[in-house]
């Protein structure tokens, strides 16, 4: 049901790297061909004294028509004098394409957008495939240094235990993305049935029962589905929101949390998790959760929500685009459900204190000019360039607001978005490469009361931020060495596949919490969950407790 940390490479990585690294297990050095093109001084444009080509491997955005003719591509090439020779991986094949590139020896200069995890960074970095960026940051990191000053935690989270920085991160401080585990309810049904917004798990159950039995769409058919979801995105899982009424269930931290003793532990073995499963099973047994929620992808979920008369009452997701067509109107009638108070009084929303997209830009040993490659990536963090790259050209992707317009936070507006995220266009890269979106930038967005940004921002500030989880419970990004990564690979897939399968089976009743819970716990013990958690704690100590 849930996404897990991508460690699937680590066992095979050692063999692949050995073949690619010529036996060098130390820190990588700059490619000797880098002198072919002279790099201009840091902080100046163009970046090169002559037109230079960078080979860039990227995850292709479905919202960009053509990177070759794209307006930002042309603008950035003119500005930097750097031509990009693109090679793409479709999102669904990203890991496979990355594996192939790294094992083939035919390396690009730069890798962007893959979110290369810390285990891969450590393994490939120490074998010389990914170059350490420390010296490049010191000499050329104009924008990167600004980010480190503004967000000191970013530098800490991207610095490996060996002291090297192997990747740059995308920085996204959009308030709504800091609290991604939201739930949405179809407001016209509440009004039709004269129901209040639920505030507790018991009230929520009663609302779902009313949706099921009282024909809120008024078509005389019993076609209402009180709650649905999907499995393509873990935020649409039926447990992603509701489980937090029983225990902190932070999907972005791989379902791990710090316990009361300051040790990393798993939520899926705790009594609170069991109580949450019991609640979800009760909803399912009463016919309040859709069968399709355990198998369908986002497209199928959207079809459920959009087709014909409204039939779906509640969906968990981080944003409307995961379960509705935002180019139409039905999304406008879904409103945020605040965190529900559970039986013990627990009322919380998972909050991301380490919100940076790690592994977003890496330079490989195949780079002929690492200095130029780094400066090309570093400049993308500039506020002006980042706006152009991801929102679009002024007058096309965005415009200046009218005098007196208010931003999302009530202060003066600084920009108006013209092309919504998720729109197919050819003006920007739409988050293909590293970017910096500050909180101040988002709050300066002028948006009317029915816009997606307005609704997401208001939902976050009014409904979720007041209940945000504590930073002390959040497990930060962690680096693993090669031995730890290899061991985690074997343990994690087995453990998390079993947890995912068992979670579904407990909810639908294929397993009994009364009869099978102890077997579930003992099976996890036999899968060496204890060692799995020990590795996390060892790696955390090495990185953060120096």
| pLDDT per position as a tens digit, 71-115 | 999 999 999 999 999 999 999 899 899 999 999 889 999 999 999
pLDDT tens digits along 463-491 = 999 999 999 999 998 988 878 888 988 89
Whether residues 69 and 136 share a domain: the answer is yes
pTM of the predicted protein model: 0.85
Whether residues 191 and 332 share a domain: the answer is yes
Give the C-alpha separation, 218 to 308, whole Å. 13
Confidence category of residue 21, pLDDT binned at 50, 70, 90? very low
Distances (CA, A) of 11 to 119, 124, 310, 485, 518: 11, 12, 48, 8, 31
Q: Which long-range contacts (CB under 8 A, 24 or more apart) does 41-45 make?
A: 42/139, 42/140, 42/141, 42/142, 42/375, 43/142, 45/79, 45/80, 45/379
Report whether pLDDT(34) > 90. no
pLDDT tens digits along 300-344 = 999 999 999 999 999 999 999 999 999 899 999 999 999 999 999
Whether 372 maps to a domain, the answer reads yes
Q: What percent of the chain has pLDDT over 90?
A: 81
pLDDT tens digits along 253-265 = 889 999 999 999 9
Place of tokens 């050819």: 426
221 by DSSP, 3-state: which?
Answer: coil
80 by DSSP, 3-state: which?
Answer: helix
Whether 33 maps to a domain, the answer reads yes
| Mean pLDDT, range 146-171, rounded to an integer | 92
pLDDT score of 485: 83
Report whether pLDDT(56) > 90. yes
Give the C-alpha separation, 497 to 118, whole Å. 21
Contact between 125 and 364 under an 8 Å Cβ cutoff? The reply is no
Return the number of other C-beta atoms located less than 10 Å from residue 158's C-beta: 23
Contact between 155 and 133 under an 8 Å Cβ cutoff? The reply is no
pLDDT tens digits along 273-303 = 999 999 999 999 999 999 999 999 999 999 9
Report whether pLDDT(10) > 70. no
> How many domains are there within the chain?
3
Strand partners, 183: 316
Whether residues 148 and 189 share a domain: the answer is no
pLDDT score of 113: 95
Whether residues 327 and 218 share a domain: the answer is yes
pLDDT score of 384: 94
User: What are the b/e assignments for 293-327, b being 16+ CB within 10 Å?
Assistant: bbebebeebbebbbeeebbbbbbbbbbbbbbbebe
* Dihedral angle over CA of 141, 146, 152, 154, nearest 10: -60
Report whether pLDDT(446) > 70. yes
Whether 443 maps to a domain, the answer reads no
Give the C-alpha separation, 300 to 263, whole Å. 40
Contact between 192 and 216 under an 8 Å Cβ cutoff? The reply is yes
Cα 246 from chain centre: 23
Q: Which residue has the higher pLDDT, 353 or 240?
A: 240
* Token duo for residue 350: 């998972």
User: What are the b/e assignments for 502-523, b being 16+ CB within 10 Å?
Assistant: bbbbbbbeebebeeebeebeee
Whether 142 maps to a domain, the answer reads yes
Whether residues 20 and 162 share a domain: the answer is yes
Whether residues 170 and 44 share a domain: the answer is yes
Report whether pLDDT(345) > 90. yes
Last residue of a domain, one of 303, 336, 369: 336
* Nearest CA-CA partner of 5 in 428, 536, 416, 537: 536
* Dihedral angle over CA of 408, 409, 412, 416, nearest 10: -10
What's the chain's Rg over C-alpha atoms?
24
pLDDT tens digits along 104-140 = 889 999 999 999 988 889 889 989 999 999 999 999 9
Instruction: Name the DSSP class of 54.
Output: E
Q: Which residue has the higher pLDDT, 35 or 388?
A: 388
Whether 271 maps to a domain, the answer reads yes
Whether 25 maps to a domain, the answer reads yes
Contact between 366 and 57 under an 8 Å Cβ cutoff? The reply is no
Whether 35 maps to a domain, the answer reads yes
Residue 521 belongs to domain spanning: 482-544
Residue 162 CB partners (closer than 8 Å, separation 6+): 27, 122, 125, 126
* Token duo for residue 330: 């039905």
Whether residues 137 and 15 share a domain: the answer is yes
Give the C-alpha separation, 433 to 388, whole Å. 12
Report whether pLDDT(61) > 80. yes
pLDDT score of 370: 98
Whether residues 102 and 194 share a domain: the answer is no
The enclosing domain of 69 has a CATH number of 3.40.190.10
Contact between 54 and 83 under an 8 Å Cβ cutoff? The reply is yes
Give the C-alpha separation, 303 to 298, whole Å. 9
Whether residues 361 and 329 share a domain: the answer is no
Place of tokens 């603008």: 75
pLDDT score of 129: 96
Lowest-pLDDT range of 12-16, 398-402, 415-419, 524-528: 12-16
Whether residues 38 and 146 share a domain: the answer is yes
Whether residues 216 and 361 share a domain: the answer is no
Output the average pLDDT for the chain: 91
Confidence category of residue 37, pLDDT binned at 50, 70, 90? low
Give the C-alpha separation, 429 to 421, whole Å. 11
Whether residues 170 and 50 share a domain: the answer is yes
Whether 368 maps to a domain, the answer reads yes
């Amino acid at each position: 049901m849930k996404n897990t940390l991508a460690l699937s490479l680590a066992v095979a990585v050692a063999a692949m790297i050995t073949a690619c690294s010529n036996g060098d297990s130390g820190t990588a050095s700059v490619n000797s061909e880098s002198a072919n093109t002279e790099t201009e001084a840091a902080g100046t444009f163009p970046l090169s004294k002559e037109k230079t080509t960078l080979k860039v491997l990227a995850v292709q955005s479905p919202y960009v028509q053509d990177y070759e003719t794209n307006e930002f591509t042309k603008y950035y090439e003119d500005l930097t004098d750097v031509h990009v020779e693109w090679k793409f991986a479709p999102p669904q094949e990203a890991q496979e394409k990355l594996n192939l590139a790294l094992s083939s020896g035919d390396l690009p200069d730069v890798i962007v957008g893959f979110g290369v995890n810390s285990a891969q960074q450590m393994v490939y970095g120490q074998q010389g495939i990914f170059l350490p960026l420390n010296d490049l940051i010191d000499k050329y990191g104009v924008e990167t240094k600004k980010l480190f000053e503004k967000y000191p935690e970013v530098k800490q989270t991207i610095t490996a235990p060996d002291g090297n920085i192997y990747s740059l991160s995308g920085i996204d401080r959009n308030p709504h993305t800091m609290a991604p585990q939201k739930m949405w309810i179809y407001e016209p049904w509440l009004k039709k049935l004269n129901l209040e917004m639920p505030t507790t798990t018991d009230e929520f159950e009663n609302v779902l029962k009313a949706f099921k039995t009282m024909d809120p769409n008024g078509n005389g058919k019993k076609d209402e589905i009180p709650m649905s979801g999907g499995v393509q995105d873990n935020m649409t899982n039926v447990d992603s929101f509701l489980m937090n009424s029983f225990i902190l269930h932070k999907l972005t931290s791989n379902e791990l949390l710090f316990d009361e003793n300051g040790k990393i532990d798993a939520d899926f073995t705790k009594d609170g998790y069991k109580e949450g499963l019991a609640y979800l099973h009760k909803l399912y047994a009463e016919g309040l959760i859709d069968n399709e929620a355990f198998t369908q992808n986002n497209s199928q979920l959207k079809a459920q929500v959009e087709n014909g008369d409204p039939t779906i009452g509640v969906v968990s997701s981080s944003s409307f685009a995961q379960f509705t067509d935002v180019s139409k109107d039905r999304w406008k009638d879904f409103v945020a459900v605040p965190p529900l108070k559970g039986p013990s009084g627990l009322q919380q929303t998972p909050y991301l204190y380490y919100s940076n997209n790690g592994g977003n830009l890496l330079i490989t040993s195949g780079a002929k000019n690492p200095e130029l490659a780094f400066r090309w990536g570093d400049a993308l963090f500039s506020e002006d360039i980042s706006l152009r790259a991801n929102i679009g050209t002024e007058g096309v992707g965005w415009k200046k607001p009218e005098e007196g317009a208010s931003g999302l936070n009530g202060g003066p507006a600084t920009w108006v978005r013209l092309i919504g995220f998720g729109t197919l266009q050819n003006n920007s890269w739409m988050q293909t490469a590293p970017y910096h979106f500050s909180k101040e930038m988002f709050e300066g967005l002028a948006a009317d009361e029915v816009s997606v940004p307005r609704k997401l921002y208001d939902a976050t500030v009014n409904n979720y931020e007041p209940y945000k989880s504590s930073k002390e419970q959040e497990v930060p990004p962690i680096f693993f060495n090669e031995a730890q990564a290899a061991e985690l690979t074997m343990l994690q897939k087995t453990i998390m596949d079993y947890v995912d399968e068992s979670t579904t089976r407990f909810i639908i009743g294929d397993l009994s919490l009364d009869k099978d819970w102890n077997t579930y716990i003992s099976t996890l013990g036999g899968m060496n969950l204890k060692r799995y958690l020990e590795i996390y704690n060892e790696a955390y100590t090495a990185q953060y407790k120096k």
